[in-house]
Each structure stands twice: as C-alpha cells, then as structure tokens.
Chains A and B, each alone.
Chain A
C-alpha cells in the first residue's frame, strides 16, 4: 500500500462498531445527495440568470450551505472509508506492537480534539438558535439550520473514531490499515 494513502474498506464490522458504520454510511448518502442537489441548483441558477434573464436570490447561498453541510456530514463516512489522507511514515517504520500503540494514541488524540470541537460547535449552533441569528442577505436564512451541520457531522465523526479505536484495540482493524507482513 502506498505510504500516505489508506485503502478503501467498505465492509461492515461486527458488534456496535458495525452499527456506527451503518449510520456513517447513511451520513455518506446524505452528503452525496447534497452534492448532487448543489449541481442541479447551480445549473438551475445559471438557466434562470442566463436564459430567462432574471436575477437569482437564494441559489448561491443555498448551494454554499449545502456544500458546507455535505463536507461536515460526510466526515464520518469518509473516516469509515479511510479516505482522510494521512502520512504514515512513522507507523511504517515501527514494528507491530508499537505501531498499534501509536494507532491508539493518534485515534485517541483525534477523538479528544473532535470532542472539543463538538462541544464548542454545539455552543455555536445553540447561540444562533437561541438568538435567532439570520444571514445578512435578502434571503435571511435562519443560521441555526446550516450551523447544525457542525455538531451533527463532528459528533458522528467522534462516534466513528470511537468505533475505529475499539476495532483497533480488539484487533478487528489493522493499525493504520497497514498489512502485517509488509516490511
């Protein structure tokens, strides 16, 4: 396997990590659907503006929020696919035992920082909701709607990381997805 890029694993694992995998896949579908919808809306916007000669109000803002939401909600699914690019130079140099220990450390550290982001992300969303913030455009979107993607996507990413950590500890997953017989 290439240093730097993890391979794709699409299998569902046994036990509760499997439930998390399924939920992450659902998030992945939602994310993909949002991207497709953005393609359609952007094309509709160009049609309205260029062919019908009318001005557009909500499209640019909506597709931007859809793209942000697709990114944040897609995070757990991409984590499940091992699609977040990484550089596994140090893990490749380590033997099996220390490599597993390092995998546990990096996954735990990732969980910690994502937990912090979920906490403050929830606060960020809650403020927008409680104070009824609106975007400064003609469309004036209630901002808690797009902001909800921050705690939702990062929260699910946290759960996916927890499932991956568990699978690494009990040996279901290979640390860093590196084949054992390598090196």
Chain B
C-alpha cells in the first residue's frame, strides 16, 4: 500500500479507536502496534517499551510535573478568590469593572496555574455568583469565565506550550514569550465583547460597581503579592539565563507549596495529599500520552507516512495561506474532540515540517495552534470548561453557558485572523528579549 493511502486508513482507524472510550494513551499504542504488526511484522513490537522509555527520558519533561504542582498548590488555596477580590477592589471605578476584573483574574490565575479547568473553577466560583448578583446577563457571566479560563494554555507558563516545544524541538522559553502578547490580545477582545454585550442587553447599571476605601484595597495585597512575586521570579530566572524551564519550575513548585502551607495554612496531611494526588494524576496522565505519542510517531515515520504527507503537500503547490486555512480547520476539528496535549503530540510532528516549508514561523504557529485548542475547550462535545462551569453554577443551563461562550469563540477566531495579518504579535516579544530566532 502506498504511504498516503496508508495515512488515510490510519487516520480513520485512529479516530475510531480514540472515540471508543479507550484511554487516549493506550489507544495510541494499540493503533501503533496494530499498524506495525500488519505492515512491519511482529518483530517491530519488541522496540515499543524502549521507545516509550526513551521518549520519557528527557530532562525538559520534568517541567510538566513541576508546573502542575505549582498550579495545583495555588488552586488548592483561596488564592483564586483573593486575586479576584483584589482586582475587583482596585478596578471598581473602571466601567464594567467586575467583568474586567474577572477576566483579569482569569488571565493572572492562568499564568500562575497553567491549567484551564483550574482557572475556570477558581475564578468562576466567586465571579459567576457575584456578576449575576450585580445584574450581568448569565451568558456574559458564564461565557467570560469559560473563555477566560482557556487563557491557561496560552499565557505562560503553559503545559501545552512545553509539550509543543518538546514535540517540535523548539525553545520552550521562546514559546512562552510568544504566548504573552496574543494572550493579552485575547483578554482585551474578551473584555470588549463582555462590556458591549452587557451594555447591549440593557444591563448598563451593572457596569457601575460599588466603591472600596483605599484601606480595603491595600489590606488584600499581602495575600496576593507572594504568588505574583513567584511568577515574576520564575520568569526572571528563566529569561535572565539563570536556569532552564525545568529548573525554574521546580523552584516555583517548591515556593508555591511553601506559600500554600504558610500563608494559606495548608498543613493538614489530608489536604497536602489531595494536592499531591491531583498533581500526580495529571502529570502521569500527560506524560503517558507523551510516551505513547512517541510510539505513535515512531510508527508514522517507520511506515514513511510522515514523510509522504509532507512531500505530497509540497507537490500540491498551493498558496501557503490556503494551506494554513486548511490546517486551522483540521486543528479546530481535532480540538473539538481531543485534549490539546494529544492533538499537539499527534499533529505537530506531521504539521511542523509542512508549516515551516511553507515559510511560517514555528513559534507563531504554536500560538495559532494553541488558540485553536482553546476553542476546543469551550465547544462541545469535549469542551472541558463548559462542564467545569456547569459544575460550579448548576442553576445555569449548559445551553446558556454554551450560548454565552460562542461570541468568545468568535473573539478567538478574530485573534487568529489578526495574528495572520500581523505575525509580529507573536514573534515581536521573543525576538526583542531573546534575539531573532535562528
């Protein structure tokens, strides 16, 4: 069979296997083993454990459990509520201060935790009831948090970006920087839409908030500052050339745990174990997918599928932007069904050579890919954030949450378009801080 037909067959079978409810990692190994046995003989199975081990045997991957511990210890505290309250107290005079502080809190919390569902849960628990109480429409209250939560995978430190960096052998530090400006752009678009929608629905009164005294504003700061300092410290260590992402993540994880224990009095062994259990569960799940995807990409290249697809696309001689359009559609559809980490690991090794050959910047592409994955987090059927919000605000129907999220999906599409017209939005900051990419 020629490699292209084989590729098409593989795509269909992979989709069927993954939709069958088998775990993503095991499913990838099943598909890889099946194809290797049929087209390469039984002998090829012998190498699988070694490939699994080899893929995991990489110091850069250490940053994943470390950033997850950092996020889990922050998420286990009242830090989310404190952050939210602090922003509300400071931004109260700004028109629409509440929704702006919610989105700002989402962005900051996303930066600290690196996790979308954790951001939704932490900020939404406080933010959604408060916005409803002050008369914001349900769609804005839930949609803004669902969308704000997705920033977790774009704003650094982001586990999704680390996985992209490892899958494509690009610089994680540079990827983190590439996500900053587009992240802020998304926050601005989300804020603009929320304010417009609130005003349009005649809830303009809600936009005027209550006022706080300066004393109230300052008394909350000590509870928020430590985490903000850690984030700044981590970023400084990474970009100041002091340490690698894995190393800074380890220091960040230790500091966040210490702060959670000291400031938030997280000293019962039960609560500490909860944090550790959740971090272990998430890290093991992601790292197993990384190992399994390694086996999958080994199968792809030993059956010459990766190379043939890249060559075939090369011969098509299409306009690069048409190509990019179809790649976006593909990513969007994949993101509707699969978790971001799985999409990146399966697609990046195939797409990256195609994208770079067409003259696109790999760091810019990482941002485009991540925004596509963010859309998948707030669209059915797998839209994790929608279900998280449904869980914390059960009185609002899933349909309302979904309707509320749709305009934010449109904001993300606008962001993708803006990035296509102005690639510098993603590449300017890394180029300025780290020098042009080679």
Q: B56 contacts A117, CB within 8 Å?
A: no
Residues of A that sit less than 8 Å from B by CB: 1-5, 8, 28, 31-32, 35-36, 38-40, 42-43, 45-46, 50, 60, 63-65, 67-68, 70-72, 74-75, 77-79, 81, 83-91, 102-103, 105-106, 109-110, 113-114, 116-117, 120-121, 123-124, 146-147, 150, 154, 176
- The CA of A114 and the CA of B246, in the complex, are separated in Å by 30
Closest chain B CB from A148 CB (angstroms)? 11
Q: A117 contacts B280, CB within 8 Å?
A: no
The chain A residue with its CB closest to the CB of B27 is A86
Chain A residues positioned under 8 Å from B251 (CB to CB): 42-43, 46
**Beyond known contacts A4-B382, A40-B254, A68-B53: 8 more, CB 8 A cutoff:** A4-B337, A42-B62, A63-B59, A78-B285, A84-B288, A91-B20, A113-B30, A146-B57
Which among B23, B33, B58, B61 has the greatest number of chain A C-beta atoms within 10 A? B23
Contact of B281 (CB < 8 Å), options: A43, A78, A147: A78
Chain A residues positioned under 8 Å from B339 (CB to CB): 4, 85
Q: Given that A42-B247, A116-B48 are known contacts, is A71 also in contact with B62, CB under 8 Å in the complex? A: no
Q: A4 contacts B247, CB within 8 Å?
A: no
Closest chain B CB from A50 CB (angstroms)? 7
Chain B 314-343: CB-based contact to A (< 8 A → 1; otherwise 0): 000000000000000000000001110010
B41 contacts chain A at the CB level, 8 A cutoff: no
- The CA of A121 and the CA of B50, in the complex, are separated in Å by 7
Chain B 276-312: CB-based contact to A (< 8 A → 1; otherwise 0): 1101111111011101000000000000000000000
Q: B384 contacts A68, CB within 8 Å?
A: no
- The CA of A154 and the CA of B243, in the complex, are separated in Å by 34
Chain A residues positioned under 8 Å from B13 (CB to CB): none
Q: Given that A64-B57, A70-B280, A83-B285 are known contacts, is A120 also in contact with B46, CB under 8 Å in the complex? A: yes
B19 contacts chain A at the CB level, 8 A cutoff: yes
Residues of B that sit less than 8 Å from A by CB: 18-27, 29-30, 33, 45-50, 52-53, 56-59, 61-62, 65-66, 69, 242-243, 246-247, 250-251, 253-254, 257, 273, 276-277, 279-285, 287-289, 291, 337-339, 342, 380-382, 384, 386-387
Q: A35 contacts B384, CB within 8 Å?
A: no
Q: B29 contacts A42, CB within 8 Å?
A: no
Q: A117 contacts B49, CB within 8 Å?
A: yes
The chain A residue with its CB closest to the CB of B47 is A120
The chain B residue with its CB closest to the CB of A83 is B281
Q: Can you identify 17 A-B contacts, CB atoms within 8 angstroms?
A: A4-B382, A28-B280, A39-B250, A42-B66, A42-B246, A43-B250, A63-B59, A67-B56, A67-B62, A70-B280, A71-B56, A75-B284, A87-B337, A106-B21, A110-B23, A114-B26, A176-B21
The chain A residue with its CB closest to the CB of B290 is A71
Chain A residues positioned under 8 Å from B57 (CB to CB): 64-65, 68, 146
Chain A residues positioned under 8 Å from B59 (CB to CB): 60, 63-64
Chain A residues positioned under 8 Å from B381 (CB to CB): 3-4, 89
Q: A120 contacts B49, CB within 8 Å?
A: yes
Q: A84 contacts B23, CB within 8 Å?
A: yes
Closest chain B CB from A56 CB (angstroms)? 11
Which among B281, B284, B342 has the greatest number of chain A C-beta atoms within 10 A? B284
Which among B22, B56, B62, B254 has the greatest number of chain A C-beta atoms within 10 A? B22
Q: B33 contacts A87, CB within 8 Å?
A: no
Chain A residues positioned under 8 Å from B21 (CB to CB): 86-91, 102-103, 106, 176
Q: B279 contacts A35, CB within 8 Å?
A: yes
Q: B284 contacts A70, CB within 8 Å?
A: yes
Q: Given that A4-B339, A71-B283 are known contacts, is A38 also in contact with B29, CB under 8 Å in the complex? A: no
Which among B25, B56, B243, B291 has the greatest number of chain A C-beta atoms within 10 A? B56
Chain A residues positioned under 8 Å from B69 (CB to CB): 35, 39
Closest chain A CB from B328 CB (angstroms)? 21
Chain A residues positioned under 8 Å from B23 (CB to CB): 79, 84-86, 110
Q: B283 contacts A70, CB within 8 Å?
A: yes
Q: Given that A110-B26, A116-B48 are known contacts, is A31 also in contact with B280, CB under 8 Å in the complex? A: yes
- The CA of A85 and the CA of B49, in the complex, are separated in Å by 21
Contact of A110 (CB < 8 Å), options: B18, B22, B285, B380: B22
Q: A2 contacts B20, CB within 8 Å?
A: no
Closest chain B CB from A68 CB (angstroms)? 4
Q: A84 contacts B285, CB within 8 Å?
A: yes
Chain A residues positioned under 8 Å from B25 (CB to CB): 84
- The CA of A13 and the CA of B431, in the complex, are separated in Å by 55
Chain A residues positioned under 8 Å from B382 (CB to CB): 2-5, 87
- The CA of A63 and the CA of B57, in the complex, are separated in Å by 10
Chain B residues positioned under 8 Å from A113 (CB to CB): 26, 29-30, 33
Which among B29, B65, B380 has the greatest number of chain A C-beta atoms within 10 A? B65
Q: B384 contacts A39, CB within 8 Å?
A: no
Closest chain A CB from B129 CB (angstroms)? 22
Chain A residues positioned under 8 Å from B387 (CB to CB): 1-2, 5
- The CA of A74 and the CA of B284, in the complex, are separated in Å by 6
Closest chain A CB from B353 CB (angstroms)? 27
Top 5 A-B residue pairs of the complex, sorted by shortest distance between their CB atoms = A42-B250, A84-B23, A2-B387, A74-B284, A4-B382
Contact of A150 (CB < 8 Å), options: B22, B53, B289: B53
Q: B49 contacts A64, CB within 8 Å?
A: no
